[in-house]
Chains A and B, each alone.
Chain A
Amino acid sequence: MLKIIWNKEEVENIKSKLSKDFDLILTDDPNEVPLDKVGIILDDSNLDKIRPILEMMAIERSQVLFQTPHGYVQLNVKDISYLEAFGEDIYLHGIDMTNQIIKQPLYQLEEILRPYHFVRIGKSFIVNISKIRYIRTGFNAKLDIELISGTHLEVSRSFVKDFKSAIGIDKKGGLK
């Protein structure tokens, strides 16, 4: 048996993600879980499957601190669609179509965001894989990706390999 303790306010979110595939029991019995927490009880044989889901939920909840011309801003990773370098500025495109200018080099951002399933797709672009709707192959060995927001981005030829690794096509490395 496996007991997961989680914030009470996110109980609906976790329920929607787990209850479809797993039998689980929710509890807020003060004897079982701390105050303001909720306990999810399920079979521990599901641990391997549940882990990435929980990790993803953790990622979604993660916040990253970015340097802007006006100081620092803390943003939820799940709200970021992609980042675009334009001259010395980096534009951070959110899922709500808002833009944010970031004063950090792109390579630093790439390093910061890599654990959160972001991948570099060109000299000037970093994309959140979770926001890709579909991929279209082109005649020129490039890839055209459409985001949930409808934005089209191009994966440059020299970054296709990294992109492949990131979504697990290249089994030798990258995220699984």
Chain B
Amino acid sequence: MTLFGWIIVSIVSVVVVVFGVRFTSDIIWNRKLGKFQKSQSVVVPKIPRLYWVKRSYGLILSSLVLVTTVASGAFAIPNMLDGRVLLNATPVGSKDRLEQLIADTSSGNWWSDFFNGGMMEDEVLAPEVDTAAGDATTRDYIGTNVQVEGVDEADIVKTDGYTIYYATRYYNEVRILDINDDGTVDPQANLDLGDMYTDALYLTDTQLIVIGYVYTSIPYTYQDGVDYYGWAYTSYSGAVYVYNRETMELEYKLETDSNFYQHRLVTDPISGKSALYLVSSKSLYTDELRPEYSETQDGNTVTSYLGYDSIFYFDDVPVYSMTVVTGISLDTYEMTSQAFLGNVSEIYASTDAIYTVDNYSSYTLNTWESHVQIVKYALDVDHASITYVGQKELTGYVGDQYWMDEYDGYFRIVTSSWNPIHNDLYILEEDDETDELNLVGSITDGLGNLNESVKSVRFDGDTGYVVTFEQHDPLYTIDLSDPNHPVITSAIEEPGYSTYLHIWDDDNHVIGFGFSADDNGFATGLKISAYDTTQELPLEDYQLNNQDEEGVYSYSYSEASYNPKALMVSPDKGIIAFPIMSWRSTQVSTYEWEYDYVSQYLVFYIDFSADQIISDPIVISHNPSAYYVGIDRGVYINNIIYTLSYNELVSFDLDSKSILETIVFQTYFDENPGLIYVD
């Protein structure tokens, strides 16, 4: 209760007491009078009941005001967090409360469960690009394509120019490949991860960080009042292993009861300190509802739990799982966490904030509506701490992390709704006093023609680019320099659409990666487009057609079309490269076809000043494989491209335009040849 609340309640209480005393003494007086009159056998007309009702008005009304005031919580001391009034989030506080919230949600409709569960967790890998911090090396290399400078994103391949670390996805090991000065490769012993599956590596000057998970089956029983139901629930136990790169000894290990959904490695540009931020999704079908952390360092294991006071819930958001945001200092391994009840679909991180977004649906008035909840956490990299700042719910869904951006304190987000199809851009700003993200500007009209939904987004400072598509691809350029009044400044239309946009330079040049399409909107193959966003047509397209010479049909795709981290991009070096995988079927007789599987790595040079902006590609091929193992990534070090697949490494010298070296790896299939079907 606030001081003002106490004053109000005290005043109302005094009024209640005064009315109460008066009403009581009224009763006493009149009873005495009645008794007296009866004793004297005086017959007086009875006092009408209405009289007593009237007399009790004051008491009843003032009591009601008192009860309502107290019960309404109008003067309750607001929940505060870091000097901010919590209008939206409420700390859970206790296990009982948490169980109640879970029960309330599961008593809802079965379909809401279905729809909410369905939209998340489809892509465990984080995307993205950019030249990562490359200090302490004199070698020239291209790092992982990340979204925000200073915010590293995990990938299956990491390098510092001297060593390539390559997590072979689902085979529980990390390949360590030292690169000699002459560009040749010196393979080191593989790092065996035991039971841990990983697709996420980070690199610092001294540490190799491996983030993955271990599957665990948890028996779960449910009683509906009559019958017991039981099954085994598969739980992801998220794990973080930090290795000393010099000794390859395990330096720190963190295991938790939830799956690390996405993460970022953030480096403070001033102090140079780094912190790992992990967003995990905890199941609520376990006995222990608090997130559990088990840290091992120097042989000592310490288990801790996140307190119920650090778990928040939002009234409107269904409780199907818990999202836990954890920060770990990579200098001291100090750890901080906060959690909220709700799912996470995508995250966006800058150097000082993490935004989690949850796409969810609601069903009202016979209509499904898609919603997105945005939750912002402030980061303090020096202390690896996180603090909940605020939230906002908007209509529509968010497709990937590139649909979001933070610039100059403003959070920009593009959403797309599918019923009816509609696209919006919103600009939000945190509130100084409450946990609300305030809407400062928006574009709710004009993004996309009829029935076109968003395919890709990219922000660049004061400019935003949005691609929508149904049959044609308008690429919209948006002027965001006035956050209160964003304006669409131009639109380029062409067949096909880009799934990824890369800002090439400051002269309005943008490279798009995506699919070409025919007049009906069917994708016909991969393409690269070069745009000048001040013009109405693309400058140039390079199409990789599905069909080549007669009698040979092929279908090709690239991981880069949905995971921009498979792209190697460097505007400085004028390079864009990506792996492409094709199945080719060749007709050898009337009834006979031959199929083969081809994995290639394509390297394009981009030069906006040249006549042909997008060069013909350099093609680096791996040997055809009897099994589906294509090229995962390419790495650029000192003008040599190292292409990596599970089977082999092929390095290609861009100077001599020739293959430098081919290394065949020992694989799981070599050890288990019976697993492969060979013609």
Q: Is B302 an interface residue (CB 8 A)?
A: no
Interface size class of B (residues with CB under 8 A): 20 to 34
Highest count of chain B CB atoms <10 Å: which of A52, A57, A132: A132
Residues from chain A with Cβ under 8 Å of B26 in the complex: 135-137
The smallest C-beta distance from B524 to any residue of chain A, in angstroms, reads: 90
Quick check: A168 and B44 within 8 Å, CB to CB? no
> Assuming A137-B25, A137-B26, A139-B18, is B41 touching A132 (CB within 8 A)?
no
Among B32, B35, B41, contact of A56 (Cβ-Cβ < 8 Å): B41
> Known contacts A137-B26, A139-B18, A139-B22; is A129 also within 8 Å of B37 by CB?
yes
Whole-angstrom distance between the alpha carbons of A167 and B22 in the complex? 19
A134–B33 touching, CB < 8 Å: yes
Q: Write out the residue numbers on chain A whose beta carbons fall within 8 Å of the beta carbon of B45.
A: 133, 148
Q: Quick check: B30 and A130 within 8 Å, CB to CB?
A: no
**Complex Cα–Cα for A117 and B29 (A):** 17
Contact among B30, B36, B41, B44 with A53 in the assembled complex (CB-CB below 8 Å): B41
A152 to B40 CA separation, bound complex (whole angstroms): 22
Q: How distant is B187 from chain A, measured CB to nearest CB, in Å?
A: 97
Q: Which residue of B lies closest to A175 (CB)?
A: B36
**Choice from B28, B33, B41 contacting A57 with Cβ under 8 Å:** B41
* A52 adjacent to B32 (CB under 8 Å): no
A24-60 vs B, CB cutoff 8 Å, 1 = contact: the mask equals: 0000000000000000000000000000110111000
Measured CB to CB, the closest approach of chain A to B483, in angstroms, equals 59
A86-137 interface with B by 8 A CB criterion: 117, 129-137
User: B629 CB to closest chain A CB, in angstroms?
Assistant: 93
- Are B25 and A167 in contact (CB-based, < 8 A)? no
Which residues in B have their C-beta under 8 angstroms from that of A83? none
Q: Is the pair B36, A135 in contact by a Cβ cutoff of 8 Å?
A: no
Chain B nearest CB, measured from A54 CB (Å): 9
A143 to B29 Cα, complex, angstroms: 10
| B41 engages A137 (CB within 8 Å) | no
Instruction: Report Cα–Cα, A57/B41, bound state, in Å.
Output: 8
Known contacts A133-B45, A137-B29; is A176 also within 8 Å of B55 by CB? no
Any A CB within 8 A of the CB of B588:
no
Q: How far is it, in angstroms, between the C-alpha of A167 and the C-alpha of B35 when the chains are bound?
A: 9
User: A167 near B41 (CB under 8 angstroms)?
Assistant: no
A53 to B37, CA, bound (A): 10
A130 with B42: CB separation less than 8 A? yes
For residue A57, which residues in chain B have a CB less than 8 angstroms away from its CB?
A: 41
**Interchain CB contact (< 8 A) of A168 among B18, B36, B41:** B36
C-alpha gap A131/B40 in the complex (Å): 12
**Inter-chain contact B44/A56, CB cutoff 8 Å:** no
The closest CB in chain B to the CB of A138 belongs to B22
Contact of B40 (CB < 8 Å), options: A117, A133, A134, A136: A117
Considering only residues 142-170 of chain A, those with a C-beta below 8 Å from chain B are 143, 148, 167-169
Could you tell me the distance in whole angstroms from the C-beta of A157 to the nearest C-beta in chain B? 14
CB atoms of A52 and B51 under 8 A apart = no
Given that A148-B45, A168-B35 are known contacts, is A135 also in contact with B40, CB under 8 Å in the complex? Answer: no
Contact with B along A56-69 (1 / 0, CB 8 A): 11000000000000
Q: Are A134 and B41 in contact (CB under 8 A)?
A: no
Q: Mark B19-53, 1 if CB is under 8 A from A, else 0.
A: 00010011011101101110111101101000100
Across-interface contacts of A169 in B (CB, < 8 A):
28-29, 32
Contact B32 A167 (CB under 8 A): yes
Q: Is the CB of A148 within 8 A of B44?
A: yes
Whether A17 is near chain B, meaning CB under 8 Å from some CB there, is yes
Q: How far is the CB of A164 from chain B (nearest CB, A)?
A: 8
Residues of A within 8 A of B36 (CB): 129, 167-168, 175
A169 to B28, CA, bound (A): 9
Q: Which of B28, B29, B40 contacts A52 (CB 8 A)?
A: B40
Measured in the bound complex, the distance between the Cα atoms of B35 and A87 in whole Å is 36
CA A175 – CA B33 in complex, angstroms?
A: 12
A135:B29 contact, CB within 8 angstroms: yes
User: Which residue of A52, A134, A175 is within 8 Å of B30 (Cβ)?
Assistant: A134
Across the interface, name the chain A residue whose C-beta is closest to B25.
Answer: A137
A135 neighbours in B (Cβ, 8 Å): 26, 29-30, 33
A42 and B45 alpha carbons, distance in the complex (Å): 28
A76 to B37, CA, bound (A): 19
Q: Min CB distance, B34 to chain A, in Å?
A: 9
Q: Which of B18, B33, B41 has the most CB of A within 10 A?
A: B41
Chain B stretch 34-83: residues in CB contact (< 8 A) with chain A:
35-37, 39-42, 44-45, 47, 51, 55
Residues of A within 8 A of B33 (CB): 129, 132, 134-135, 167
B18 contact set on A, CB distance < 8 A = 139
Q: How far is the CA of A129 from the CA of B34 in the complex (A)?
A: 11
Min CB gap A96→B, angstroms: 16
Most buried by A among B26, B37, B51: B37
B residues within 8 A CB of A130? 37, 40, 42, 44
Contacts of B40 in A (CB 8 A): 52-53, 55-56, 117, 129-130
Contact across chains for A137 and B32 when beta carbons are under 8 A apart: no
CB neighbours of B28 from chain A (8 A): 169
| Residues of chain A with a CB closer than 8 A to B25's CB | 137
Alpha-carbon gap, A138 to B26, bound state (A): 9
| Distance of A19 from chain B, by nearest CB (Å) | 13
A20–chain B nearest beta-carbon distance, Å = 10
Which B residues between 1 and 22 are near A, CB-CB below 8 angstroms? Answer: 18, 22
**Across-interface contacts of A133 in B (CB, < 8 A):** 44-45, 47
CB distance from B345 to the nearest CB of A (A): 64
Separation of A167 and B40 alpha carbons in the complex (Å): 10
Q: Is the CB of A52 within 8 A of B44?
A: no
Cβ–Cβ < 8 Å partners of A167 in chain B: 32-33, 36
Chain A residue nearest to B28 (CB atoms) is A169
Closest B residue to A59 using CB positions: B40
B250 to chain A, nearest CB (A): 80
Cα distance, A156 to B35, chains bound together (Å):
23
Q: Which residues of A contact B47 (CB under 8 A)?
A: 133-134
Chain B residue contacts of A117, Cβ below 8 A? 40
Chain B residues in 8 Å Cβ range of A175:
36
Closest A residue to B55 by CB, please name it.
A136
Shortest distance from the beta carbon of A114 to any chain B beta carbon, whole Å: 14
A131 to B55, CA, bound (A): 21
**Alpha-carbon separation in the docked complex, A51 to B202 (Å):** 107
* Closest beta carbon of chain B to A72's beta carbon, Å: 27
Q: Given the complex, which residues of A lie within 8 Å of B32, measured CB to CB?
A: 167-169
**Cβ contacts under 8 Å, B39 to chain A:** 52, 168, 176
| Shortest Cβ distance from residue A9 to the other chain B in the assembled complex, whole angstroms | 19
Point out residues on B near A: beta carbons under 8 Å.
Answer: 18, 22, 25-26, 28-30, 32-33, 35-37, 39-42, 44-45, 47, 51, 55
Extra inter-chain contacts (10) besides given A148-B44, A148-B45, A169-B29, CB under 8 Å: A52-B41, A53-B41, A55-B40, A129-B33, A129-B42, A132-B44, A133-B45, A134-B33, A135-B29, A135-B30
Pairs A–B under 8 Å by Cβ, sample size 11: A17-B41, A55-B40, A56-B40, A56-B41, A129-B33, A130-B37, A130-B40, A130-B42, A132-B37, A134-B30, A168-B36
Please give me the 7 A-B residue pairs with the lowest Cβ-Cβ distance, nearest first.
Answer: A53-B41, A130-B42, A135-B29, A167-B36, A137-B25, A56-B41, A56-B40
